[in-house]
């Protein structure tokens, strides 16, 4: 819980890095990528880290996030959703982006 709060405090500070990552994904053809999704993906990626993470390490995780990692996370999120109809079209969009 403390880690999540730590990251939430940094959210505004790391917004330029998140924005940069979203723009990169858009340039690569993943037009539906959003800042909130990238933020959630990063938090998910770091959820098991037990040690303290410094701000510069956190920014590095954002900037080195790969499209494949993001798409895998997005796919898993759509599968785990309780409301399949809320995510209608997400899987089709993923397949379209890959092909």
Q: How far does CA 5 lie from the centroid of its chain?
A: 17
What pLDDT is attached to residue 1? 41
On the question of pLDDT at 89 being above 70, the answer is no
Q: How far apart are CA 17 and CA 57, in angstroms?
A: 12
What pLDDT is attached to residue 7? 87
What pLDDT is attached to residue 49? 83
Q: Could you tell me which residues come within 8 angstroms of residue 55 by beta carbon, excluding any fewer than 6 positions away?
A: 10, 13, 14
How many residues are present in the chain? 99
For residues 96 and 55, the model is more confident at 55
| pLDDT, tens digit (0-9, with 9 covering 90-100), for 25-74 | 999 999 999 999 999 999 999 988 888 889 999 999 999 999 999 999 99
Q: How far apart are CA 50 and CA 70, in angstroms?
A: 22
For residues 6 and 54, the model is more confident at 54
What pLDDT is attached to residue 42? 96
């Amino acid at each position: 819980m403390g880690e999540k709060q730590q990251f939430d405090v940094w959210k505004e500070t790391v917004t330029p890095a998140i924005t940069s990552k979203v723009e990169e994904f858009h340039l690569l053809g993943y037009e539906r990528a959003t800042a909130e999704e990238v933020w959630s993906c990063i938090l998910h990626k770091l959820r098991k880290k037990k040690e303290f993470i410094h701000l510069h390490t956190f920014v590095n995780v954002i900037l080195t996030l790969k499209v494949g990692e993001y798409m895998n996370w997005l796919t898993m999120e759509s599968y785990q959703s309780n409301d399949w109809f809320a995510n209608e079209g997400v899987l089709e969009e993923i397949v379209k982006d890959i092909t």
